[in-house]
Chains A and B, each alone.
Chain A
Amino acid sequence: MDVLPFLVTQCLNALSQAALLFFLGCGLTLIFGIMRIVNFAHGAFFMLGAYVGWSAVRLTGNFWLALIAAPLLVGGFGAAFELGILRRLYGRDGHAFLMVTFGLTLVMGEVIRLLWGVEALQVQIPAALSDIVFILDEPFPIYRLFLAGSGIVVGLTIWQFLERTRLGLLIRATSQNAEMVHALGTDVRLVRSAVFGIGCGLAGIGGVLAAPMVTASLGMAPNAVIDTFVIVIIGGMGSFLGSMIGALLVAFVQVFGSYYFPDLAMAFMYLIMLTILVVRPGGLLGKEA
């Protein structure tokens, strides 16, 4: 393989990986921005998305329906969890949220084990995306291009949503000064439920999209939650743009790092995080530097 095709295909790989990381990081950072809580169950929502996606594909035979159903179901479940349980804890300190969301991870893991079993489940790539294209004579899976593209589309959509819609405005306002928004007559509690639901729904989309590449399996949650934390810490807690930059940075360093220095593959992500924490303790775009 020549240098140019290698570089191009690896960059595309990195973009597709960044897209998946972004779905996770973006949801987590939105939730943190509004609620000041760290959602430890984020990886479990990602995993739930993959399993729901598998079932939807199995029931309907249609990957696109799965892509719609999974975020709705996962997001709905997230919103219901916020309404039913998290809402009672806002007066308490951060530990309560950590315990409750960690507990939710365990419960979801066990429930998924009971419902879907212990075996990893394979999700078929839809026929339209299962082929390969030749990029400078190198085969490249269309599905990965689709992943990279969907990351860009979702990123732009969320950005426009935050900038241009009324709910987006409320979300931004709440993250800056919740009491003021409340005083102006908006039910901040509803905004919180909505954001928690949207954040979990994004993790759910990530889960469905990841499933054809990594299968739906019980190991997804712990792996995902660690990656997500790293991205959000790099980008800055609560920063939407930060989570995007964090995802890109981690993906590119990981793809090229593990190619040239495979023995250090696992360390790269943490090295970036450490470096950034030393230089900018609040993350790249974080406020509390």
Chain B
Amino acid sequence: MPGMHRRALLMSALASPVVLRHARGETPIKIGMPVALTGPAGEIGAQMRRGAEFWAKHTNAKGGLLGRPIELVIQDTGGDPASCVRKAQDVVERDGCRLLFGMTLSSEALAVVPKLAEWNAVFMSSDNGDGRLTGSSLVPNFFRANTSGPMGTRAVSLYLRQAQFKGFYAIGMDYAWGRNSIGVFKDEIQKAGQNFIGDVYSPIGTKDFSTYIAKIRQSGADACFIVMQGDDNAAFLSQAKQYRLPDKVQLLTEIVDLNSIAATGDASIGLIGSSRYSFTFPGAANAEFVEMWKKEYKTVPDTFEGEQWQAGQVLAAGIAAAGSIDAEKLRVALEHVEIDSIKGHVKIRACDHQGEQQGFMVKVVKKEGAAKPTPELIATFPADRVTPGCGKMTYDS
């Protein structure tokens, strides 16, 4: 490496000024992407990578940004915050990236954001859910183009105010996310004057949910809110179906995505939840995106692929407005970005850098003749009702 470096210096010293200017004109815009490609969040990370690669390819085909091609520098973090900070430092200091994508888990993002100022780099989140990132942990160089966790839960609770259920039960994975989400949910349900019967938490990696299913059944609730992901989610839904739980109880969840539908198969039919992005969302922009995606990958885009595309479009609009990728200028420009995206209108707020956008509720259905169940849009809520107050994670009404 040091040898190469010396050679590069020598080459540039020898090159004529004309050649140099030409070369600078085509210098790629490097975007660093430390992303979890292995570990439990590997599937989400893989989606983010595909989304980013597709966006970069599409943008480059249209002439790039500011006439410069986009180059992604992708690194696997394994979903580990310490490793993510190291990889982010690598792409910034070694590869010279001043723009960042990725950081699959909120814990990774929370570990990286304090460093952004020092690195003079801007991070555009496409999937981080933790409300604190645009709240108590907000830094000037962080932007969130995606729907946050509180916004997802909010969409669910707004939907439940319309739908009438007699009593709610909740089951979550026994760690921060499960307990936080159910806490927010319980709060929302009780504020709406509805009956919250009880909650239970299963240890991460639980294989047998029969006891929990018996508990939900015994509670007499007619709706159950599920906060689970990955293997636990798949196991719970399959077993719930085996016990015919959905016949008695409407199952609700925070996020419905194609990946968890694929893992649970028909067991997911009937499930109602919020969706950050689905290929079934209405609008010409989304239809066009889905067609392009199908041409490239022979399948429809999943949640985090769509979210990553939107994050790319927001970043592109910011760079175009700033006319530069300099963090200072880009930050100011991004604070006023408004675009019409595949999810509808998205507006970045200057006050907390959250993208204001609609909230969506979907129900998993299996159309006649279809091989797989798909999410069907059942309700949309306007951005101003879904997005929390500036820097907040909770809602006043």
Contacts and interface: CB of A to CB of B under 8 A. Distances in A.
Interface string B203-219: 10111101110110110
A124 interface: yes
A192 interface: no
Interface string A210-246: 1011110101100100000000000000000000000
A156 interface: no
B231 A219 contact: yes
B43 A119 contact: yes
Interface string A1-29: 10000100110010011001000000000
Interface string B228-251: 001100110011001110000000
Interface stretch (A59-67, A73-81, A183-191, A262-270): A262-270
A255 B210 contact: yes
Contact of A122 (B206, B208, B238): B238
A262 B211 CA distance: 9
B208 A17 contact: yes
A255 B211 contact: yes
Interface stretch (B64-72, B259-267, B355-363): B259-267
Contacts of B218: 1, 6
A263 B201 contact: yes
B390 to A, nearest CB: 36
A243 B59 CA distance: 60
B207 A139 contact: no
Given A6-B218, A122-B263, A122-B265, A214 B207 contact: yes
Contacts of A124: 265
B207 A223 contact: yes
Contacts of A220: 231
A6 B242 contact: no
A120 interface: yes
Given A6-B218, A10-B211, A262 B201 contact: yes
A259 B209 CA distance: 10
B389 interface: no
Contact of A9 (B40, B214, B267): B214
Contacts of B235: 213-215
B42 A259 contact: no
B169 to A, nearest CB: 13
A139 B244 contact: yes
B83 to A, nearest CB: 17
A16 B242 CA distance: 14
A117 B262 CA distance: 13
A125 interface: yes
A132 B218 CA distance: 18
Interface centre among A119, A124, A125 (most CB of B within 10 A): A119
Nearest to A264: B203
Nearest to A263: B201
Contacts of B200: 262
Contact of A13 (B46, B211, B238): B211
Nearest to A130: B242
Contacts of A10: 210-211, 214
Contacts of B201: 262-263
Contact of A125 (B212, B242, B244, B263): B242
Contact of A1 (B203, B212, B217, B231): B217
A279 B34 CA distance: 50
Contacts of B239: 213
Given A119-B262, A217-B231, A259 B238 contact: no
Q: Report the contact-size class of chain A (Cβ under 8 Å from the partner).
A: 35 or more
Nearest to A140: B243
A263 B201 CA distance: 7
A51 interface: no
Nearest to A9: B214
A256 B358 CA distance: 44
B176 to A, nearest CB: 16
Contacts of A259: 211, 214-215
A20 B210 CA distance: 14
B195 interface: no
Among A1, A124, A263, A265: residue with most chain B CB under 10 A: A265
B325 to A, nearest CB: 33
Interface in B167-210: 174, 200-203, 205-208, 210
A289 interface: no
A122 B268 CA distance: 11
Contacts of A256: 211
Contacts of A121: 263
Contacts of B174: 265-266
A215 B43 CA distance: 16
A23 B343 CA distance: 49
B211 A143 contact: no
A214 B239 CA distance: 8
Given A139-B243, A255-B211, A265 B202 contact: yes
A16 B46 CA distance: 36
Contacts of A255: 208, 210-211
A282 interface: no
19 contacts: A1-B214, A1-B218, A6-B218, A13-B208, A118-B43, A118-B46, A121-B263, A122-B265, A125-B242, A132-B243, A143-B242, A144-B242, A214-B231, A214-B238, A217-B231, A219-B205, A223-B205, A262-B201, A266-B203
Given A9-B214, A219-B231, A223-B207, 4 more contacts: A1-B217, A223-B205, A255-B210, A258-B212
Interface of B: 38, 40, 42-43, 46, 174, 200-203, 205-208, 210-212, 214-215, 217-218, 230-231, 234-235, 238-239, 242-244, 259, 262-265, 267
Closest 5 CB pairs between A and B?
A120-B263, A266-B203, A141-B242, A13-B210, A122-B265
Interface of A: 1, 6, 9-10, 13, 16-17, 20, 113, 118-122, 124-125, 130, 132, 139-141, 143-144, 210, 212-215, 217, 219-220, 223, 254-256, 258-259, 262-263, 265-266
